Structure 1
């Protein structure tokens, strides 16, 4: 008898199941969804979740790179939880869905981590 490993509750999740998962505030209000994950090729650590919000049917959406440590999974909502108010969300470093973000620019990444008050995934601050 084959066991469906994906149906068993555990701490791991496949990346394709994270993409599209809702991101909500602690009170349950919807913010957006996870567009994609950015994974460090060398360490294998998830560096960022890219939050997609706004727009209509994906057109005009803003993408916000969030340090992975800023999100918490909320089993009650079956969504990732992000404690962020509207002003912080509006000011957050972001880019348009139709533009590219230079992931090789450490200065931009450092600015992103400073904004969220989190140490960079590569160390230092």
Structure 2
């Protein structure tokens, strides 16, 4: 019986910051601004997606569960299964007013928006 080989890949956070994010239709959804790490588990909990605005001004930020993102190696970007219009209307936050990402209720709601199980389950 053949054994499947699991290839492990790791990247530094600095190489992910600034990566583009597209939806399944190839539409630009923005760029990854930061990664949020759960200090209790060491897992990447969220990618902070910067979307909208003009020339970097007026961008809206979104906490996207890292599990909701897929790596597209061919295009060297991430893919998120969400329509651009849905993201435009989603609850985000601005640079100076971040949510309490440690709040369990907030975390559960965010995972529900993107249709993925919470990273801690």
TM-score (norm 2): 0.84
RMSD: 1.6
How far, CA to CA, are the matches of 2:101 and 2:29 in structure 1? 24
**Structure 1: gaps of 5 or more residues:** 1-9
1:47 corresponds in structure 2 to: 45
For residues 19-53 of structure 1, give each alpha carbon's deviation from its aligned partner in whole angstroms, at most 9, with x where no partner exists.
Answer: 00011123432210000000111211110001101
Match of 2:74 among 59, 68, 76: 76
Contact 2:67 2:119 in 1 (8 A): no
Q: Give the gaps of 5 or more residues in structure 2.
A: 1-7
Asked whether 1:96 is paired with 2:88, we answer no
Counterpart position of 2:35: 37
Which protein has greater RCO, CA pairs closer than 8 Å, 6+ apart?
2
CA distance in 2 between counterparts of 1:45 and 1:101 reads 19
TM-score using structure 1 length: 0.82
Count of residues in correspondence between the two structures = 114
